[in-house]
A = this chain, B = another copy of it.
Amino acid sequence: MAIRTIVWGENVHEQKSKIVAGIYPDGMHQTIADALNAAGGIDAETATLQEKEHGLPESRLAETDVLIWWGHAAHKDVDDEIVARVCRHVWAGMGLIVLHSGHFSKVFKALMGTPCNLTWREAGERERLWVTSRSHPIAAGLPDHFELENEEMYGEPFGIPEPMETVFVSWFQGGEVFRSGATWRRGAGNVFYFRPGHETYPTYHDGNVQKVIANGVRWAHNPAARLTDPEAAPNVPVEKALEPIEARGEKLHADGEEGFR
């Protein structure tokens, strides 16, 4: 069964900037979705900031295996309730791929627990991505490195928690380095950050970049049933303890009472 994927695009610069619109006439999200649909085994649709509930109603996320997130100019316009909803779905098992300037999205920062900051320079310089984790599924079919002739520079220190696995590290022409592919698990959800994708360059038309994102979707997909309540903190009554015990000492809670949150 195909992996049900949503490519979420902020869709702001595509509307405001002739440069961006020229490279991505249907939006970056559509270019990415098209590439995923061509990759095989993935059924990709799009959603944008401007849609009702940003195109991410509860019912739709419940039917989504992997969400891809690209945002830049309008991070602040993303509704906090939708952010919390996305996080809950990740915790419950939905995969998440965060692209490029999405490092500063509310969703990514909330899931990392860190500032996710970096240094940057918009100079169209050369980026070379090196695979640091040999034969990692996210690097399937790639050479040991690949180049993007024009990209924005992102430099270390990258304000993230130590990744579960560092898959790519980038070299920049101007002298910086960056951990440009990294994975984490958050609850039952797999999270992958992938650096490239400044909107004034044709990065998402690049075959290697498309391959990484498709690999990322396959890697992030958790086929387990979505958890109903990933935040539940159930009380286990004394009489249902797996080993027989008797209650002792003083109690704060009445029997069967819910815990504090």
Residues of A within 8 A of B (CB): 13, 17, 19-20, 72-76, 87, 91, 93, 101, 104, 110-115, 117-125, 128, 130-137, 140, 144-145, 147, 150, 153, 155-159, 161-166, 169-177, 179, 184-188, 198-201, 222-225, 227, 230-238, 241-243, 245-253, 259-261
User: Which chain B positions have C-beta within 8 A of A198?
Assistant: 252
Which chain B residues border A237 with CB–CB below 8 Å? 121
Task: Let me know if A162 and B185 touch, CB within 8 A.
Answer: yes
Instruction: Using A73-B260, A117-B233, A234-B119 as known contacts, say yes or no to A227 and B185 having CB atoms under 8 A apart.
Output: no
What chain B residues lie within 8 Å of A201 (beta carbons)? 249-250
Asked if B124 and A249 make an inter-chain contact with CB atoms under 8 angstroms apart, the answer reads yes
Is A155 a contact partner of B130 (Cβ separation < 8 A)?
yes
Q: Chain B residue with minimal CB distance to A254?
A: B122
* Copies, count: 4
Which of chain B's residues have a CB closer than 8 A to the CB of A145? 242
When the two chains form their complex, are residues A101 and B260 in contact, meaning their CB atoms are under 8 A apart?
A: yes
Please pick, from B13, B73, B110, B185, the residue contacting A161 in the complex, using a CB distance under 8 A: B185
Report the Cα distance A155→B128, complex, angstroms: 12
A208 to B122, CA, bound (A): 30
Contact assessment for A166 and B166 in the assembled complex, using a CB-CB cutoff below 8 Å: yes
Contact B200–A250 (Cβ < 8 Å): yes
Cα of A182 to Cα of B253 in the assembled complex, Å: 27
Instruction: Give the Cβ gap from A223 to chain B, nearest Cβ, in Å.
Output: 8
Give me 11 other A-B pairs in contact (C-beta within 8 A), A91-B159, A115-B230 excluded.
Answer: A87-B113, A104-B261, A111-B113, A111-B114, A114-B187, A123-B246, A123-B249, A125-B241, A133-B162, A162-B166, A162-B185
A247:B75 contact, CB within 8 angstroms = no
Given contacts A174-B245, A177-B169, A249-B201, contact A131 B156 (CB under 8 A): yes
